[in-house]
Amino acid sequence: MESRMPLIGDKFPDMEVVTTRGVKKLPSDYKGKWFILFSHPADFTPVCTTEFIAFQKRYDEFKALNTELIGLSVDQVFAHIKWEQWIKENMGVEIKFPIIADTGKVANELGLIHPGKGTNTVRAVFFVDPQSTIRAMLYYPQELGRNFDEFLRMIKGFQVADREKVAIPANWPNSEIPELEGDRVIIPPATDVEAAEKRKSEYDCFDWWFCHKKL
């Protein structure tokens, strides 16, 4: 019987996994850090290869944001290693983050197996915060490669939202609304009449329920 797929706000489930960088315990080995766990359909496939190169080229940026990366697919560890070698030899990029070698157990627990795609994992992405809470989940079909600049934006946005107790506008920091461009963030709605009345004197506002400030 398959476990219930985890949801946003759940704690990431405890598991021990075999990776290209040794055995790891999730999420405890990453306590105090953000981590992004992302699954790919299979090694030695074109779209997945472009994705791993894209992630590796941004790895230093993620690490600067206290964020680690972990790949996963239902392939054996030697296949991951050979694929890493191929990428280095043919594309000139060395993959430095771990890749989980899954038998299907982890993928089933996380809801990564699409019923119509055999044993291949979908392109899923889990964002997990330093308290081991799942903050976001994204799923892509096999034919569509992911946007890795968006993942950086999301981590930056989560960290700003947590630190400042604010919300992040659409396409931040490149808002479609001129007043919200750059490092402007949205103030959470007032929860009582007194706070609503104070808003316009405390922040820049379009109305009492739509206020913003500069970081």
Count how many domains the chain has: 2
Q: In this structure, are 41 and 131 located in the same domain?
A: yes
Residues 99-132 have pLDDT tens digits of: 999 888 888 888 887 666 556 677 899 999 999 9
Q: Examine the domain organization and report whether 63 and 123 are in the same domain.
A: yes
- 20 domain residue, yes or no: yes
Q: For residue range 71-104, what is the model confidence (pLDDT) as tens digits?
A: 998 889 999 999 999 999 999 999 999 999 988 8
User: How far is it, in rounded angstroms, from Cα 58 to Cα 68?
Assistant: 11
Global confidence as pTM: 0.92
Average the pLDDT over 126-153 and give the result.
94
Q: 164 - beta bridge partners?
A: none
Within a domain: 68: yes
Q: What b/e sequence results for 86-116 when a residue is b if at least 16 CB atoms lie within 10 Å of its CB, and e otherwise?
A: ebeeeeebebebbbbbbeeebbbbbbbbbee
Q: Verify that 49 and 137 share a domain, yes or no.
A: yes
| Active-site residue flag, 211 | no
The reply to whether 58 falls in a domain is: yes
The answer to whether the CB of 69 falls within 8 A of the CB of 38 is: yes
Domain membership of residue 173 (yes or no) is: no
Q: Say whether pLDDT at 2 is over 60.
A: no
* Residue of 48, 69, 155, 166 marked catalytic: 48
pLDDT tens track for 56-76: 999 999 999 999 999 998 889
Residue 54 lies in a domain: yes
Which domain, by its residues, includes 183? 178-214
Name the residue type at position 197.
Answer: E
Q: What is the CATH number of the domain that holds 203?
A: 3.30.1020.10
